[in-house]
Amino acid sequence: MKIGFIGLGIMGKPMAKNLLKAGYTDLLVNNRSQAPIQELEAAGARGASQAEIGESCDVVITMLPNSPQVKEVMLGDANNGVASHMKPGGIFIDCSSINPVASKEIAAALAEKGVEMLDAPVSGGEPKAIDGTLSFMVGGKQEIFDQCKDILSAMGASVVRCGEVGAGNTTKLANQIIVACNIQALAEALTLAQKAGVDPASVFAAIKGGLAGSTVMNAKAPMMIEGNDKPGFKIDLHIKDLNNVLDCAHAVGAPVPMTAEVQEILQWLHNRGEGQKDHSAIAHYYEYLTGIEIGR
């Protein structure tokens, strides 16, 4: 099976490497900048144009920033995107986190060409992309999911079909609400501890094994305490995801007041030039308000 992978950023590059490690060595890769392509070529992949990927690959995977980029790559202007080069029966797997409405629009356009689609966004950030333990939330036909599950399992520890096309990204939006609100609550709690004279590291050690414990806490509390804001998942990307949450929520009439509050904090950080930092830098908002730095 020949696979094409387009988008070799923080997440896409290690995901593509894990495909190679799993034995999917007939892998063509494409990216806007050349350095990641060269790195993948050194690992055994081959750089290729988007047109060549469409023409020669059985499965095309994208990992791109948002809906406009996915539409541009796959559909292009005047119907000249990757999909225009794909043969009927080809499969497109979009691992980007985009608005589920856009996923359905893209799937409808591909169906006219006889191309199947799965929307398969991921959770886990860069560390789990590197070690191949991402969680995939997938939307699409059961038979297409069954055909592609092994491919996704090469990059993730959990691969769950959530429904038809669009269900994957709807599930990812739910995930991003929980992650964002969790990080905000964590920053608020550690700020309270420090203001009350209790070591945030001790608070983390004491509560991480109880009901408040979570994967989010385990990943982000040490970063907040150490002052490490190197991005595993950038503030600007979480803003993008929460904008999609708000758009979807408004369309279906779902109340999301907590999401709106976290979004305002993230946007405030973006406006201060912190959009490229890890989303755990939500802690900086509380540090600005209180004049203290968590754990320091």
Q: How many CB atoms lie within 10 A of CB 96?
A: 26
- Residue listed under structure tokens 């609400």: 177
Residues 6 or more apart from 149 whose CB is under 8 A from it?
A: 159
User: Kindly report the CA angle at 241 between 183 and 187, in degrees rounded to 5?
Assistant: 10
**Distance between start and end Cα atoms, the chain:** 52
175 SS3 class:
helix
Residue 151 class from Cβ within 10 Å (0-12 exposed, 13-18 middle, 19+ buried)?
buried
Length of the chain: 296
Contact 12, 63 (CB under 8 A): yes
Please count the helices (runs of H) and the strands (runs of E) in the chain.
13, 9
Q: Bridge partners of 135?
A: 123, 158
Give catalytic residue positions: 172
Q: How far apart are CA 197 and CA 199, in angstroms?
A: 7
The token duo for 146 is: 């069954």
Sign of CA dihedral 224, 182, 193, 208: negative
Backbone angles phi, psi at 254, to 5 degrees: -95, 130
Contact 57, 75 (CB under 8 A): no
Which residue type is seen at 85? H
